[in-house]
Amino acid sequence: MSKIWTEKIFDDPEIFILRVDDDQIKYFEAVWEITEGISYNAYLVKLNDANVLIDGWKKNYAKEFIDILSKIVDPKEITHIVVNHTEPDHSGTLPATLEAIGHDVEIIASNFGKRLLEGFYGIKDVTVVKDGEEKEIGGKKFKFVMTPWLHWPDTMVTYLDGILFGCDVGGGYLLPEILDDSNESVVERYLPHVTKYIVTVIGHYKNYILEGAEKLSSLEIKALLPGHGLIWKKDPQRLLNHYVSVAKGDPKKGKVTVIYDSMYGFVENVMKKAIDSLKEKGFTPVVYKFSDEERPAISEILKDIPDSEALIFGVSTYEAE
């Protein structure tokens, strides 16, 4: 059974995280193999005369979402829902949430987000916010910043009192055993899965990562609360720097990724010599081998490419043409 978390993570403003660990998923977006799983994070901000729900979970967990939400607040008391990104792993619980609320509630999204909400769920009554627009809710000022193609055209982030609700911005695979970045060993183990998430989900739009990071650099970010994985309270800039580094392809000194296939062992004999030579010269090879007995996940290979100084391929001859 998937683990469900809920905890107050800030006192002023009062913010709760609602996290579910999806340990049943095998292929993220029906493409990327993720045996490590992924979490879906939503947030509730409780203010004077307002309760703001930010994002949601995958539809599969709609009942669990309403149950856990109801332990924090009566759904009928929710006044606003911010949809940073309409992809159904974040908006799938929205119809059930609206049903539980049972009355008109202000839904906030980007212009493109409004179009997708209508297309996905038939929701037409949406407040559209523009890039940089500020909106006062419950005595607090919310700022909305458009971050298109991170990784859909509708994507935006929400900024409140130094806290950035990033949705897909700042996400990563894995089901960390803690909620935040307070434990260094957990962070070290988690970051490679962030790299894997970046290259598989957002990698095609790496220039937009750099543009988005430049735009967000004008904000004082004290905490980053993404829609997947760890929340970053101790050092949010570390995560942002990691995103930029992956997008730029900053190499790790000495790292070489070696990818080869060997049908009957002949190519493997050659590649073993190449790998030994790399080690003798002080390089650190990361090796992925395809054979009749093993086949690494493409998503795993991709995660090691951005910070490699070189890629080496060994390919069998299969066809004459």
Phi, psi dihedral angles at 306 (to 5 degrees): -55, -35
Angle CA 214–219–221, to nearest 5 = 110
Domains, the chain: 4-248 (3.60.15.10), 255-314 (3.40.50.360)
Query: Tens digit of pLDDT for each residue in 132-165?
Result: 999 999 999 999 999 999 999 999 999 999 999 9
pLDDT at position 32 is 97
What sign does the dihedral 295-300-303-307 (CA atoms) show?
negative
Cβ neighbourhood burial of 277 (10 Å; 0-12, 13-18, 19+): exposed
For the chain, give the number of residues. 321
Under DSSP, is residue 82 helix (H, G, I), strand (E, B) or coil?
strand
Query: Tens digit of pLDDT for each residue in 254-290?
Result: 999 999 999 999 999 999 999 999 999 999 999 999 9
Residue type (1 letter), 79: T
What is the average per-residue pLDDT within 124-137?
98
What sign does the dihedral 151-245-34-32 (CA atoms) show?
positive
Tokens of 307: 């910070």
Mean pLDDT of the chain: 97
pLDDT at residue 321 greater than cutoff 70: no
pLDDT at position 320 is 67
Q: How far apart are CA 1 and CA 15, in angstroms?
A: 26
pLDDT at position 7 is 98
Please report, in angstroms and rounded to a whole number, the separation of the first and last CA atoms in the chain.
51
Q: How far apart are CA 269 and CA 272, in angstroms?
A: 5
Query: Tens digit of pLDDT for each residue in 284-307?
Result: 999 999 999 999 999 999 999 999
Side-chain-facing half-sphere of 55: CA atoms under 13 Å: 32
Strand 80-82 and strand 50-54: the pairing is parallel
How far CA 129 is from CA of 108, 113, 157, 302, in Å, comes to 7, 10, 11, 35
